Amino acid sequence: RKEVEQDPGPFNVPEGATVAFNCTYSNSASQSFFWYRQDCRKEPKLLMSVYSSGNEDGRFTAQLNRASQYISLLIRDSKLSDSATYLCVVNPPLGSSASKIIFGSGTRLSIRP
Amino acid sequence: DVKVTQSSRYLVKRTGEKVFLECVQDMDHENMFWYRQDPGLGLRLIYFSYDVKMKEKGDIPEGYSVSREKKERFSLILESASTNQTSMYLCASSEVTYEQYFGPGTRLTVT
């Protein structure tokens, strides 16, 4: 099993729809998690952190399910500008080197008018 | 706002040339990273530095070296460029919480 897995997509949804995707991880001791967004031919940008209690930022909600070892990202009322690749990031257990940070390969999202 | 800059957006080099990629961050971050990103392979860590003159190998260090003489600057060196090093190179910096901030990337082509 890969350490971090994401469905590569593409997810092709109409504007205004709600879309969700997951990211599974294998190391149960992983401590913290992030979602990044990467536009075509640009650098990844931090979208939001993922906390045990969940995290909401406007139309975006991130959640962590430690029992099943996955994080999720939900986008409500999707906009054309949400089209991008979404990368999940799994940080290593406390005390581990930052070189153990793992990026998922990304899920491509395309919003159509 | 955190700013991470990279010396070039696009670079074309010949096989066997020595290549320097420079990265500078302005937020006094301890950690700096060099990744390469290839289609279908995602982001792969080349080297990581957690302090001046301190470095750790990542997943794919072969053919690369790094230098961190000052806290704000982290350089990636391709000792003898090869065609399989054609890629997008991304530098990032972070504080201890590991929220990484990326530079705009350098698209390197080795011919």
Taking only the tens place, the pLDDT of each residue in B79-110 is 999 999 999 999 999 987 788 999 999 999 99
A45: chain B residues, CB-CB within 8 Å: 102
Residue A94, min C-alpha distance to chain B (Å): 10
Residue B35, min C-alpha distance to chain A (Å): 11
The Cα A19–Cα A16 span in angstroms is 9
In this prediction, residue A86 carries a pLDDT of: 97
Q: How distant, in Å, are the alpha carbons of A50, A67, B34, B54, B56 from that of B29?
A: 22, 33, 14, 14, 16
The Cα B67–Cα B75 span in angstroms is 5
Give the residue numbers in A contacting B (CB under 8 Å), as ranges.
Answer: 32, 34, 42-46, 49, 87, 89, 91, 97-99, 101, 103-106
Using CB atoms, pick whichever of B42, B50, B56 lies closest to residue A103. B42
In this prediction, residue A13 carries a pLDDT of: 96
Taking only the tens place, the pLDDT of each residue in B43-82 is 999 999 999 999 999 999 999 999 999 999 999 999 999 9
